[in-house]
Amino acid sequence: MKDNRILIFSLAYHPSHVSGAEAAVYEITSRINDIEFHLITLLFDPHAPRNEKIGNVQVYRVGSGGSKLSKILFIPRAIWKARSLHKELHFNAMWSVMTYMLFPVVLSKWAGVSIPHVLTLQDGDPYERVFKRWFVRPVTPILDYGFRHAKAIQAISAYLAEWPKRRGATAPIEVIHNGANPRDIRAEFDQGEIDALKEKLGKKEGDVFLINTARLVHQKGADTTIRALAHLPEHVKLVLVGGGAQEAELKGLVRELNLEERVIFTGLVERTEVSNYRQAADIFVGPSRSEGLGNAFLSAMASRLPVIATQVGGIAEFLFDEKRDPNRPTTGWAVDPDEPEQIAEKVLEILEHPEHREQVTTTARAMVLEKFDWDIIAKQMRERVFARVL
């Protein structure tokens, strides 16, 4: 039995609710063998087990579904569960994954779980949305307490690393990026599976598939890419991998623009299968309106896909454009938010200059292998963050 135990709070977790933050927890914990990790999350699916071991994490699900009320009640339920588990297991520390998970961490402290905590900033929403919405303002003192009393704070980008200072934090702030999907880094694919997926998606000879593998929410800008199709030849199509709150609205936009034959909605896809979709596509397009870092962009670069993206938030720390960043190695094609014509222009540029595309994608993959590998990231988390509370 390990002597070091950390209790994690994450509103969502594997297997059915996985975005950048959840993937990061899984990849990091799977590579640290001298710490026993336990995680409290929301029971989104009533049929999911209340308790199960996933990788190196013992998962406890509380609540009764994914409604707004259930998400609010997650906080008191998580506190109750944390107290119960702490009496039995005697945790060394708590780990808040994303800003709002400071609520159960801080309130658990006030309820008797008197142990240090660390905070990871994975937030994709802009600062104003996280802290200044009318219903958040009255409870920001709880968040500020969490910032001020954290023993260490990890930010996945330099952009997010500016937040703690604005909330009064004095703890060490470690910028430790997320990584790319390991399957994309290893580049181990079954060509038969890729060909079968292309057939399933209806990809014909000469078709060009744009792709995004992000949640279908406003901040990801999928509507901008859909509008860009109207400025592109008919053999250019779009594959949106994933689900989200904006799905119905996006499908309505597709109908409005008469693009039903050119936009493919896959719905939710297992994370292990997402890499195959990237291999079946030609260009990754991510016109995000806000982004903490952007795991999906890094995975696309690892897959040798050309990446068209905005440079909002943390994206600007790894996507460098030939014209906008002349003093940096070019790793992608930058566009402004809400500019479909710019996306169309970059798609045509990529298609017309295959040699330049090859050069840029090779540079981007090399950067990911050097700086965004999960083995390196997990080692940094163990030495620079968890060591401060163990």
Report the distance separating Cα 150 and Cα 372, nearest Å: 25
Q: Which amino acid would we find at residue 22?
A: E
Instruction: Quote the pLDDT of residue 67.
Output: 82
Is the model's pLDDT at 1 over the cut of 70? no
Sheet holding 333-334, edge to edge: 263-267, 236-241, 208-212, 283-286, 307-309, 333-334
Element containing residue 83 per DSSP (H, E): helix 68-89
By DSSP bridging, strand 51-54 and strand 57-62 are: antiparallel
Is the model's pLDDT at 45 over the cut of 80? yes
Mean pLDDT of the chain: 94
Domain boundaries, the chain: 5-179+373-388, 182-371
Provide the CA 314 distance to its chain's centre, in angstroms: 11
**Same CATH fold assignment for domains 5-179+373-388 and 182-371:** yes
Instruction: Give pTM, 2 decimals.
Output: 0.88
End-to-end CA distance of the chain: 16
Contact 260, 284 (CB under 8 A): no
Q: Which residue has the tokens 């702490």?
A: 86
Contact 118, 93 (CB under 8 A): yes
The CATH superfamily holding the domain 182-371 is Glycogen Phosphorylase B; (3.40.50.2000)
Q: Please tell me the least confidently modeled range out of 63-67, 73-77, 192-196, 386-390.
A: 63-67
Q: Which CATH architecture group holds 5-179+373-388? A: 3-Layer(aba) Sandwich (3.40)
Residue 19: pLDDT band with limits 50, 70, 90: confident
What percentage of the chain reaches a pLDDT higher than 90? 84
